[in-house]
Amino acid sequence: MSVFDPHFLILFHKSPLRRTNLLTTIATVPSLRYQINDIIMTLKQDAVAAVGEFFGTLLFIFLALGGVQATLSSDSNSINGPTPPQILGVAFSVGFSLLISVWIFAPISGGVLNPAVLLALILTRNISLVKGGLYLFAELAGATVGAGLLDAVTPGPLLGVNALGREITPFQATVLEAICTSILVLSVLFLAVEKSKTNVLAPIGIGFAVFVANLIATPWTGTGINPARSFGAAAVTGNFTPDHWVFWIAPDDLAPEPISPPVSKGGITPTPLETVEIGK
């Protein structure tokens, strides 16, 4: 049979299967192109947000550890750890530093600035895994640069390294860090993520949550509740203590996981984090 045979031509032109496949292919190409463009656009937006997260974490760590440095340098520690005035000074420094940093960078990245909070937002489906990976890298890098910058512009050794006190066991420290981190995570979920008219005040509530957490835990652990903060100070000083794992396990594994799924099912409607802007 020749390709010019009438029967062949009729079969070629009138085959419903061939016509359907051709039309499906033609219709799929623009749709696929739009999907690829959407993916590229989303990645660009996530990258921009991650840059904001980097600078937000840098600012927070610089301000927070700067206050800690000034407070602890002003008076030598007692044998049993920081004195009450020092504890109060550290709590004010860290709490208000977070308040300022979140308020500035919330419209850009959501002002997460903490891998423990980031994990909670991933578990509640407010942040995708891809965006979460970018944020985690940005937070660790920002914390390290912020701590390094502070170390470069202040005299003496960096004093903000998290370490366990003499009288506390690793188990006690882990539970304490998990409880304090839970306070922070809950304040973020209910004050910033859940849409309400009081979202504009979210940085204040979050800052005070961190302030209270530092009042509680500073004498015993130095108050981590933020793996990026603990990592940045340790990386710059090279002082990864044997108990450094406490400041990762407690905030990342013990605090968000029990809280986030029940909260997600109990009333907070997951929304893209970029829509949660302070002041909106």
Q: What pLDDT does residue 92 have? A: 96
Number of structural domains the chain divides into: 1
pLDDT at 30: 65
Q: Is residue 224 assigned to a domain?
A: yes
Q: Position of tokens 């005035």?
A: 85
Question: Is residue 27 in a domain?
Answer: no
Amino acid 133: pLDDT? 97
Is residue 202 a part of any domain in this protein?
yes
Q: Which domain holds residue 143?
A: 53-275
The pLDDT value given to residue 190: 93
Residue 103 lies in a domain: yes
Residue 108 lies in a domain: yes
Give the Cβ contact number of residue 95 at 10 Å. 23
Task: Check residue 91 and give its pLDDT.
Answer: 97
Residue 279's pLDDT is what?
Answer: 40
Distance (Å, whole) CA 253 – CA 258: 9
Q: Which residue has the tokens 């910058």?
A: 149
Is residue 111 in a domain?
A: yes
Residue 264 maps to which CATH number? 1.20.1080.10
Query: Can you tell me the distance from the alpha carbon of 140 to that of 57, in angstroms, rounded to the nearest whole number?
Result: 8
**Regions of the chain with pLDDT less than 50:** 1, 3-15, 17, 22-23, 265-280
User: For residue 38, what pLDDT is reported?
Assistant: 84
Percent residues over pLDDT 90 in the chain: 65
Write the pLDDT tens digit of every residue in 61-114.
Answer: 999 999 999 999 876 555 567 889 999 999 999 999 999 999 999 999 999 999
pLDDT score recorded for residue 250: 85
Domain membership flag for residue 119: yes
Classify burial at 243, counting beta carbons within 10 Å of its beta carbon; exposed 0-12, middle 13-18, buried 19 or more.
Answer: middle
- Rounded Cα distance between 49 and 103, Å, is 15
Domain membership flag for residue 203: yes
